[in-house]
Structure 1
Amino acid sequence: MALFSVFSAFSVWQWLDIQGFLLFSVVFLLLADYAKNLQPASFPPGPRALPFVGNFFTVDFKKFHNSLTELSQKYGDVYSLRMGQTWMVVLNGYQIIKEALITQGESFADRPTPPLTRDMGHTFGIVNSNGHAWKQQRRHALITLKYFGVGKTSLEPAILEEFTYLSSEIIGYKGKPFKPHLIINNAVSNIICSLVFGHRLEYSDPEFQKLMRMFERGIQIQGSIWAKLYNAFPVVMRRLPGPHQDAKKIWTEVKVFLRTEIEEHRKNWNPSDPRDYIDCYLSEMEKSKEDISSTFDEKNLVKCTQDLFIAGSETTSTTLRWSFLYMAKYPEIQEKVQAEIDRVIGPSRQPTMADRTNMPYTDAVIHEVQRMGNIVPLSVPRMTTKEIQLGGHVVPKGVTIIPNLTSVMFDKSEWKTPHTFNPGHFLNEEGHFVKKECFIPFSAGKRVCPGEKLARMELFLFFISLMQKFTFSMPAGVKPVMDCNFSITLSPVHYEICASLRQ
């Protein structure tokens, strides 16, 4: 009996020791989390963060851009959020974003490299690299694209030729409902294919279709809550199944496809007669192979090619899909666009970029589609390269910066009717086109989208050609649904549309 009592007492003391240890551990971890994430009084304010998880339950990740805009009404144009152990500062409104990205552009020129980006090997190329590597890769890409016609009239025939293939596909539906998603993606992507690969791909090519689906799915996952969970809790998420694991596989497959194209180029590569971006890059690799400061290698070539695909196709194809919806929703605007096209270009002549100055209303409609479509709602994150002062607050070096472009595109102080589709936002009283300074769909500053000039050409020529030849409407009994899928880009949910040949 005595032995039992002693054993019982020992068990109780053992249990109390375990409880005490657990309590101590919890308190220690809470204090450690608090100490690690303690910020100075001058740091931008923000919603209270929970231990360990931060502000994961503060925002709606399905409408992340709207959540961040709503928070600015309470915490101001410069405020902070914590995702797991990562602090980020959200910038809202054109004046603050202009101050950061343009006036203090050097201090916001870097990209953060979150765990998912590193684990996928995406720290190379143009979009996610920093410092010397980024400057070298971006400069070479811009020079090469310009050499092959981007921003020049010499590229217009390639875009207009691609429209003939697109037009044939649409005509094949004979005015019946069809899903424009893949067709538009194929057409727009073929322009960058011509620039990068030196040739276009057939819409029916199963490898091309697979590549387009992989790009879409990969981008979708990278902008999803799964990516944010991965970046906040990488140690755990690396070991858990889910879409974040699919993203790694997708981009690995994309790289295999791109390496195959690069190997094909090597077989017939002539340094004195470059056919495309890959040829030019191979020449640069050869010229700089003895230069230890050079960043021209195959890893960067593969990633740069991938970056150019996304920059040169994703935003344009998404904008065009939004344009169909808006034209179907506002047929009176579509009629005014077509009337201007008929007056300036006529029913058969192909458009050119020179026509834009004579088509202010159509140009205004394209810009308004970009504004309302809000294609890249949160831009691509930046990172401070040093401690900076912004909006009365101090932001330390190495903090992730989110330029909330949504807050600019729908700023009631900048736009007369911010939540209404209104081409008048880009027209003066005389009906002349006026580009507003706060219109920054491609972001701003040193990291402005490298595909901006190409996207502007594609948007104008494809949109004019489509409106010249077709009238877009919803299937009988169906109303336009303007819902969107949030990711890195903001795309319309898949829909069907009818395209009738104009007489």
Structure 2
Amino acid sequence: MTESVVRENQLIKRTLDDLPQPKGWPLLGNFLQLQSKKLHQVLEQWCLEYGNTYKIDIAGLLFVVIADPVVVKDILRRRPKSFNRTASLERVFKELGIHGVLSANGESWKRQRRLIMPAFSKKSLASFFPLLEQTTERLRLRLVKKKGQDTLAIHDDLRRFTVDITTSLVFGHDTRLLEHDGDGLQKHLEVIFPQLNSRTRMPFPYWKYIKFKKDRKLDQALIEVEKYALKIVEQTRDELQFNPQLADAPETILQAMVAASDDNNRLTNEELFANILTLLLAGEDTTSNLIAWMLYFISQRPDIQCKINEEAEQIRLKHKGQINVQGLDELTYLEAVARETLRLKSTAPMISAETVDQVTLLDGTELPAGTGLFLMTRLGGLNPEHFKDAEQFRPERWQEEAVAAEACPHKATSHFPFGGGARHCPGETLAFMETKMVIAMLCQQFDISQPESPPVVEEYAITMRPKNLQICLQLKTVGK
């Protein structure tokens, strides 16, 4: 949608009653159609059938689905003043005692976000780089030990990697999951995220009255993670008491949160636990999914693996045989591979939101306060009007010389893999750092391919992951 069309559409007002809606069931509406693990694909397909703005009925609750990139961008820009997290998301997170920065709104969100952001600054992440190197080496050693396996369900190894990274960054505690085969913390995190996704889509909180096996597993997982988190909180309090200088120059996110001691900023143990869990879930799931999807694509393209390795070797030669922090920024082709992956297989293909007050969208749609929204953040990147050969995996389109020449159209603002506005994902830079380190290491050490196996499909559980992904890693010979 061009700006001129937006201005024209602003003159054509419409309300919820005017919006098209997919056919549903009596009383349940579209509820049953939306219980699939392909929720995002169902909504994307309906966008193609009913247009960029339509409504859905979830057992009597109306939501509006929005796909036009211009309208989505404007909504993201106007968060949190005009649009908040949905009430259902906030309710579920509060019920479970994990109401942190991800689900918070208003002043609570501002206060918690302010405490978290310094840890994701360029300076902080640069100081964190040595641990990123060490953890990448642990992943390499773990995979080398598995080299005799015909196929590898590598997603488990990637999640261990991202949990080790995230726990170190958040509270300075290295879980070292890559060095043993026990599940521990990772097992509990894998229970929590899918159940959060399921509950936010339920119109009725049945778990308050009857609990099934999956609900009991969720309760137990939260208990175990809370024990772990609060133990670390107490250790952090002791560290700050023993070394008060850490309050002025905290080394971890948790130290920064605990050190915020004035009455306006003090976080309760419940808030600390909520934010620890939020950061663990976000850091573990989104980045491991991005790396997994990158492997899905490059395992089918030996030529791309060669280009990645050639670029990485040039950077290593330039920086005394290794990739340092500066060298990561210089891996421009590898970043292009990551951005092309996010275009086609965004780990966050949709975002939920809710109107704070009555609002008129850029396309002329008038919505009352409290209207739930699904913002389709991936669909614009799949549109051939926004990207040439949109269905093809072409990392080169993200390189400056390509964008300036034959890759047009190339509308980078047509999709939003990290959200936008004031609630833009703070972990974007860290995600690219982790991704570049892992993929550069894998392309240096292994020839990567895919075995004959069931088709890889998209599976949605707040983030979007590859299901059935199997990888073959062939250790390269010396000098190859």
TM-score, structure 2 as length reference: 0.85
**Counterpart secondary structure, 2:27:** coil
What residue in structure 2 maps to residue 174 of structure 1? 147
Give a deviation string over 1:145-178, Cα, whole Å, max 9, x none: 439713xx32222211211111111111235333
- CA gap of 1:248–1:396, structure 2 versus 1, over 3 A, is farther
Q: How does 1:69-218 map to 2 (within 5 A)?
A: 69-102=44-77, 106-114=81-89, 115-122=91-98, 124-146=99-121, 149-150=124-125, 153-176=126-149, 177-203=151-177, 209-218=183-192
- 1:98 Cα deviation after fit: 0.8
1:425 counterpart (384, 392, 397): 397
What residue in structure 1 maps to residue 340 of structure 2? 368
- 1:371 Cα deviation after fit: 2.0
2:101, 2:238 → 1: CA distance?
A: 26
Q: Is the 8 A contact 2:158 2:292 kept in 1?
A: yes
Q: Is the 8 A contact 1:329 1:480 kept in 2?
A: no
Percent identity between matched residues is 24
**Counterpart secondary structure, 2:347:** coil
Q: How does 1:316-465 map to 2 (within 5 A)?
A: 316-346=287-317, 349-355=321-327, 358-379=330-351, 381-390=352-361, 391-429=363-401, 436-465=412-441
- 1:50 Cα deviation after fit: 4.1
- 1:441 Cα deviation after fit: 0.9
1:444, 1:272 → 2: CA distance?
A: 35
1:283 counterpart (259, 271, 276): 259
2:303, 2:453 → 1: CA distance?
A: 16
- 1:256 Cα deviation after fit: 2.0
**Counterpart secondary structure, 1:401:** strand
- CA gap of 1:488–1:41, structure 2 versus 1, over 3 A, is closer
Q: Is the 8 A contact 2:118 2:124 kept in 1?
A: no
> Partner letter of residue 420 of structure 2?
A
- CA gap of 1:431–1:354, structure 2 versus 1, over 3 A, is farther
2:449 equivalent to 1:473? yes
- 1:418 Cα deviation after fit: 2.4
- 1:206 Cα deviation after fit: 7.3
- 1:94 Cα deviation after fit: 1.4
Larger Rg over CA atoms: 1
Q: How does 1:244-323 map to 2 (within 5 A)?
A: 244-269=215-240, 270-273=243-246, 274-284=250-260, 287-288=261-262, 291=263, 293-294=264-265, 296-323=267-294
1:415, 1:356 → 2: CA distance?
A: 27
2:383, 2:256 → 1: CA distance?
A: 43
TM-align CA RMSD: 2.9
- 1:144 Cα deviation after fit: 3.9
- CA gap of 1:207–1:340, structure 2 versus 1, over 3 A, is closer
Q: Is the 8 A contact 1:60 1:67 kept in 2?
A: no
- CA gap of 1:331–1:127, structure 2 versus 1, over 3 A, is same
**Counterpart secondary structure, 2:81:** helix
Q: Is the 8 A contact 1:133 1:295 kept in 2?
A: no
- 1:78 Cα deviation after fit: 1.7
1:135, 1:64 → 2: CA distance?
A: 30
> Partner letter of residue 83 of structure 2?
F
2:458 counterpart (479, 484, 488): 484
- 1:457 Cα deviation after fit: 1.8
**Counterpart secondary structure, 1:46:** coil
> Partner letter of residue 394 of structure 2?
N
> Partner letter of residue 161 of structure 1?
Q
- 1:143 Cα deviation after fit: 2.0
- CA gap of 1:424–1:248, structure 2 versus 1, over 3 A, is same
2:197, 2:231 → 1: CA distance?
A: 28
**Counterpart secondary structure, 2:474:** strand
> Partner letter of residue 75 of structure 1?
Y
- CA gap of 1:239–1:436, structure 2 versus 1, over 3 A, is same
- CA gap of 1:395–1:207, structure 2 versus 1, over 3 A, is farther
Q: How does 1:40-79 map to 2 (within 5 A)?
A: 44-59=19-34, 61-79=36-54
**Counterpart secondary structure, 1:272:** helix
- CA gap of 1:301–1:490, structure 2 versus 1, over 3 A, is same
- CA gap of 1:47–1:91, structure 2 versus 1, over 3 A, is same
**Counterpart secondary structure, 2:413:** coil
- CA gap of 1:195–1:382, structure 2 versus 1, over 3 A, is same
Q: Is the 8 A contact 1:308 1:451 kept in 2?
A: no
Larger mean Cα displacement after TM superposition, 463-472 or 316-325: 463-472
Q: Is the 8 A contact 1:43 1:394 kept in 2?
A: no
Give a deviation string over 1:168-210, Cα, whole Å, max 9, x none: 1111123533332222112222122112221312226779722
- CA gap of 1:175–1:327, structure 2 versus 1, over 3 A, is farther
